[in-house]
Amino acid sequence: MNSITPASIVLLLPLFSAFTILLLHKQLKGAAALISIGSSAVCAIVAMIMLGAKDTPFGEPQHILSFIHLTDTINFDINAIIDGQSRGMLFIVTFIGFLVHLYSHGYMKDDEARPRYFGSLSMFMFSMTGIVLADNLVMMFIFWELVGLSSYLLIGHWFEKPSACDAAKKAFLTNRVGDFGFMIGILLLFGLNHGSVEFADLADSFKNGPLHDVKEHHQWVITAAALCIFMGAVGKSAQVPLHVWLPDAMEGPTPVSALIHAATMVAAGVYMLVRVSFLIGASEFAGEVIAGVGGITAIFAALMAVQQNDIKRILAYSTLSQLGYMVMAVGLGAGEAGMFHLYTHAFFKALLFLGSGAVIYACHHEQDIWKMGGLNKQTPATYITFAIGTAALIGVPFVTSGFWSKEGILGAAYEHCKILFAIGAFTAFLTAFYMTRLMIVAFLGKPRTDSASHASDPPLVMVGPLLVLSILSLTSALPIVRERLQAMVPHEHHSDAHWLIVGVSITALVAGVALAFKLYKGKDKDPLNIPLFANKFYVDEFYAGLVKYAQDRLAWIVTGLERIFVDGLIARLPAAIACRIGSAARSLQAGHLQGYTFLLGAGIVLAIYVAVFVLPRIGG
């Protein structure tokens, strides 16, 4: 390490915290939580201070640690890029991270394994910061896998619960499939760019270096590399067809869902795609595929959300859908709009998840919205903040941040592809519909169960973060906040289109809300029954079949073949020889044991014989 820089503090302090807790959790007990919260607070403050400066894209990478360092040209180190994109993201990650740490102090107070929980949380902060700061693809991949590990640990926090362990495993493996592609993409770029995978270097090559001139000849490699890298994002940001892990990840503690599976980690895919936007820009086809996958994810996830009854799962599908928006924006070449939505979404989705945590906490671990009801009177603070989050998510015009950022994406879609614009608008309608449904069923009307009628607002340590996040949900799109975050400002589109887009957004919103009120007002059970949506288009069942038949059955067949052919046939020869020697040895009344020593002793004797007598004679 060179010297202590802000970047190295933000990166290494959580690691220190995680290690201290891993090694000393028995001695620390309650103090473990304080160490973790303290480290996240320091990181948030440092990240806030870092927001101040302004500089060029990619900046000058700061060296933090050496990783694989062979020569000056062949090296993959841990360096930090400090530019507008990373500063803004760093603030989002550390600040929401800090609020979630604080909230967890209340939410997890009865959990016996709190040190493990906070240790894993610190581990996550370390890994996520690494992704944000990464200055090269190998470093990005390292931390990419490490967030996968922390996510695995946190989803499986309640490891006695079979569903939680299965969900953790599923999340890790699905991400591994994505990372399979990611690694291929890294290798292709490594080859293309002659051994350098630094972002600044790659961007330079694409802009005015060798890759710019010869692009025509290497189009296939560039497209393949872009699509492979995108596969990593499909895994991490849970896009179709690798989206299946995210809803299951809701088995983890709710603060974890807020931080990792809504605000930050799942957005890493979008962050990474924006980092390599020069690559996506170089391949039109890859851009189209990315935008298409984003659009499909947005609408499919929204359709699935319509028929879910678990409060966290509704929010999880909504996260998928919103991530689809962001990915679509990146594919359309509007990375700045995607990043802007990432920022606003991080605040309001974290708010909604922490709010749902407050509801679950208040209702004694009840997650079915049909067993709630009337919570607006029981838990007013939660209700109001949750309503603000919902308003931001469905994009209530002008006053919420979600409206502005979603409008940016719809604008980009309108400009480039009308079909995606239609999909985006319809998704906006669905979003308004399912979120209003959630609000009506869970918060309005009369309590449907005892636990709902005895619910009350959680303690201040949990309500505090909700209040802070609701303020940010309303204000994060205001120029004053947006400029601080150094969000790249979406470029303006023509004013006539602008008003058209605003008009469509508002129509979708009003239609969604109105339909939800008409259908769900005062209902005690769901009037809609669409099995296809409720069963998530049977994708999980399809994958379960794939694993069972394509993988396990294949493994069974291969094992059988291996036994028959390799062990049976190829081993036939040695076995035949063995029998001869074996019977020879037995005829000496020596038995097996002597057989081994005999054969081996024979080997060495033979070696000596060959060396001393045979070789000199042949060698002349």
Under rule CB under 8 A, which residues in 21-60 are in contact with another protein? 22
Among 166, 288, 526, 540, binds another protein (CB under 8 A): 166
CB of 458 to another protein, least distance (A): 29
Q: How many CB atoms lie under 10 A from the CB of residue 453?
A: 16
Contact call for residue 190 and another protein (CB under 8 A): yes
Contact call for residue 612 and another protein (CB under 8 A): yes
For another protein, the binding residues in 482-541 under the rule CB under 8 A are: none
| CA 262/CA 351 separation, integer angstroms | 10
Contact call for residue 216 and another protein (CB under 8 A): no
CB of 259 to another protein, least distance (A): 21
Residue-wise burial string across 58-95, b where 16 or more C-beta atoms lie within 10 A, e elsewhere: bbebbbbeeeeeeeeeebbbbbbbbbbbbbbbbbbbbb
Contact call for residue 603 and another protein (CB under 8 A): yes
CB of 44 to another protein, least distance (A): 24
> 310 by DSSP, 3-state: which?
strand
| CA 37/CA 40 separation, integer angstroms | 5
| CA 112/CA 32 separation, integer angstroms | 12
Please give the C-alpha separations between residue 518 and each of 392, 436, 473, 521, in angstroms, as whole numbers: 22, 11, 27, 6
Among 111, 523, 582, 590, binds another protein (CB under 8 A): 582
Contact call for residue 549 and another protein (CB under 8 A): no
| CA 433/CA 444 separation, integer angstroms | 15
Nearer to another protein, 250 or 509 (CB): 250
Please give the C-alpha separations between residue 250 and each of 155, 191, 264, in angstroms, as whole numbers: 7, 39, 15
Contact call for residue 578 and another protein (CB under 8 A): yes
CB of 164 to another protein, least distance (A): 8
Nearer to another protein, 165 or 511 (CB): 165
For another protein, the binding residues in 221-240 under the rule CB under 8 A are: 221
Task: Return the half-sphere exposure (C-beta side, CA atoms, 13 A cut-off) of residue 505.
Answer: 25
Among 184, 289, 444, 515, binds another protein (CB under 8 A): 184
The percent helix, strand, coil of the chain (3-state, each to 5) is: 75, 5, 20
Contact call for residue 173 and another protein (CB under 8 A): yes
Contact call for residue 545 and another protein (CB under 8 A): no
Contact call for residue 564 and another protein (CB under 8 A): no
Contact call for residue 208 and another protein (CB under 8 A): no
Among 49, 66, 454, 456, binds another protein (CB under 8 A): 66
For another protein, the binding residues in 123-142 under the rule CB under 8 A are: 138, 141-142
Nearer to another protein, 166 or 368 (CB): 166
Number of H helices, E strands in the chain: 30, 2
Contact call for residue 460 and another protein (CB under 8 A): no
DSSP states along 116-128: HHHHHHHHHHHHH
Nearer to another protein, 48 or 113 (CB): 113
Contact call for residue 478 and another protein (CB under 8 A): no
> 4 by DSSP, 3-state: which?
coil
> 64 by DSSP, 3-state: which?
strand
For another protein, the binding residues in 330-369 under the rule CB under 8 A are: none
Kindly calculate the radius of gyration of the chain based on its CA atoms and give it in whole angstroms.
Answer: 29
Contact call for residue 149 and another protein (CB under 8 A): yes
Contact call for residue 214 and another protein (CB under 8 A): yes
Contact call for residue 604 and another protein (CB under 8 A): yes
| CA 433/CA 20 separation, integer angstroms | 46
Contact call for residue 590 and another protein (CB under 8 A): no
Among 41, 42, 45, 177, binds another protein (CB under 8 A): 177
Contact call for residue 416 and another protein (CB under 8 A): no
Please give the C-alpha separations between residue 503 and each of 298, 324, 410, in angstroms, as whole numbers: 20, 22, 12
Among 284, 483, 541, 562, binds another protein (CB under 8 A): 562
Nearer to another protein, 48 or 142 (CB): 142
- The token pair that represents 614 in the structure block: 């045979």
Contact call for residue 165 and another protein (CB under 8 A): yes
> 398 by DSSP, 3-state: which?
coil
Q: How many CB atoms lie under 10 A from the CB of residue 217?
A: 9
Binding segment for another protein among 101-109, 182-190, 294-302, 439-447 (CB under 8 A)? 182-190
Nearer to another protein, 11 or 339 (CB): 11
| CA 508/CA 427 separation, integer angstroms | 9
Among 247, 331, 357, 595, binds another protein (CB under 8 A): 595
Nearer to another protein, 528 or 611 (CB): 611
